[in-house]
Amino acid sequence: MIHITTWRFIVGIDISKKYLDIYLFDRQRGKGLHYQVLNTYQGFARLGQWLGHQADQSQTILVSEHTGRYGEHLLRWSTDNGWSHGVVKTTALGKVGFEHHRKTDQFDAQQLAEYGVRFGDRLPLTEAPNPAVGQIKRFQAERRKMVDRRAALKSKLTEAGLHDAHMQRLIGMWRRQIALLDEHIEELEERISKLIDQNRALDKRYQTMRSAPGMGPVLGTLWLSLFAGKSELNPRKISSRFGFAPHPHSSGSSVRSSERSAGFGNSEVRRVMNQAAMSVMTHHPHYRKYYKKKKAEGKQHLLVINNIINKLIRLYCAMWNKRVDYDPGHMQKMENKFRKPA
């Protein structure tokens, strides 16, 4: 969310694996201070004590870049201790940068404080996710890596017969690795399911989304890991974020082709949403009818599948925002509503 506040104290924090370099700028006095602590909970405690002596917490905002795992514990600490914290994209410093040859952690911390001064009125505040959600995200990420490794090993197995070398030893190794990955993937799925079951709010969300067409257990947990904690979802932003939004491809009269999706974004989301679209096209009359209609109009298969994915995203976001289960008779009601009288 955007918190419209004029902060007096802007604290730029440059995060590295071992250290936090801090620059506290007092807008009222026009002066700043540098400080450094370890990137550990003991270091965060020292940071809290130092800030307590230098700034009023209610008038202070911390500004850091999104650095993945290196910044997760700091965000958890700031959330638990009531410090307002804006986590910005790694491209943010480009908005306040200038031609220079300096590249130090202290300088980057000062630049982050400068960013907070200039854009603090519309700086999005960030909070650490619910611990259960954070654990689901971690398990989900590991599961994705294991699924990709398993797919690569299975591909090697299918191509083993094409090699002239003796492959039996390698084939045995690959099969044992696949069996172990099967076991670990199943364990992660069970752990994710248990985390959801133990959290009433997450379980309610999950059961609601699972009632939707194409929303199987894999997509259900993936959707939850991506959006748990958000009260409102924007389907246009989600389609754009994961590369499903159609974009025109034309320039003058020489370069002209049909609209197509960007083709970027989280590979697992793209893969699982594609599977969901294929599933509803096969098993749900409304989507099957839509697919046949568009194919008869000369649309390409992948374009129609992408359109179905966008339809599903709009449906899933509507269900999420309204907190309602899917109504199986919804499509028929809409057709009856807009059916022209004979």
Predicted pLDDT of residue 339: 62
- The alpha carbon of 4 is separated from its chain's Cα centroid by a whole number of angstroms, namely 25
Considering the domain delimited by 9-122, tell me its CATH architecture.
2-Layer Sandwich (3.30)
Q: Which two tokens stand for residue 221?
A: 């947990």
Contact 282, 288 (CB under 8 A): yes
How far are the Cα atoms of 137, 190, 214, 227 from residue 202, in angstroms, in the given order?
Answer: 13, 15, 19, 11
Indicate the length of the chain as a whole number: 342
DSSP 210-231: HTSTT--HHHHHHHHHHHTT-S
Is pTM beyond 0.85? Reply is no
Q: What are phi and psi of 38, to 5 degrees?
A: -70, 150
Q: Which two tokens stand for residue 317?
A: 């976001």
Q: Which two tokens stand for residue 243?
A: 């590369």
Predicted pLDDT of residue 326: 93
* Other Cβ atoms closer than 10 A to 183: 10
Buried b (16+ CB within 10 A) or exposed e, 121-147: eebeebebbeeebbebbebbeebbebb
Mean pLDDT of 303-323: 95
DSSP 130-192: PHHHHHHHHHHHHHHHHHHHHHHHHHHHHHGGG-SS--HHHHHHHHHHHHHHHHHHHHHHHHH
Contact 50, 26 (CB under 8 A): no
**Cα dihedral: 106, 108, 112, 113 (round 10):** 30
Predicted pLDDT of residue 261: 54
Instruction: Please check the confidence at residue 335 and state whether its pLDDT lies above 80.
Output: no
Predicted pLDDT of residue 148: 93
Q: Where exactly are the structural domains of the chain?
A: 9-122, 131-198, 235-338
How many helices (H) and strands (E) the chain has is answered by: 12, 7
Q: How confident is the model at residue 307 (pLDDT cuts 50, 70, 90)?
A: very high
**Cα separation, 94 vs 118, whole angstroms:** 13
Q: What is the pLDDT of residues 37-86, one digit of tens each?
A: 999 999 999 999 999 999 999 999 999 999 888 999 999 999 999 999 99
Predicted pLDDT of residue 1: 46
**Cα separation, 342 vs 335, whole angstroms:** 14
- The alpha carbon of 7 is separated from its chain's Cα centroid by a whole number of angstroms, namely 28
Per DSSP, the three-state class of 296 is: helix
**Cα separation, 176 vs 163, whole angstroms:** 20
More confident residue, 324 or 252: 324
Contact 268, 144 (CB under 8 A): yes
CA angle, residues 284, 285, 289, in degrees to nearest 5:
125
Q: What is the pLDDT of residues 253-293, one digit of tens each?
A: 555 555 555 555 578 899 999 999 999 999 999 999 999 99
Indicate the average pLDDT of the chain. 87
In percent, the amount of the chain with pLDDT more than 90 equals 68
Q: What are phi and psi of 27, to 5 degrees?
A: -65, -30
DSSP 15-31: E-SSEEEEEEEETTTTE
CA angle, residues 168, 171, 175, in degrees to nearest 5:
140
Predicted pLDDT of residue 161: 80
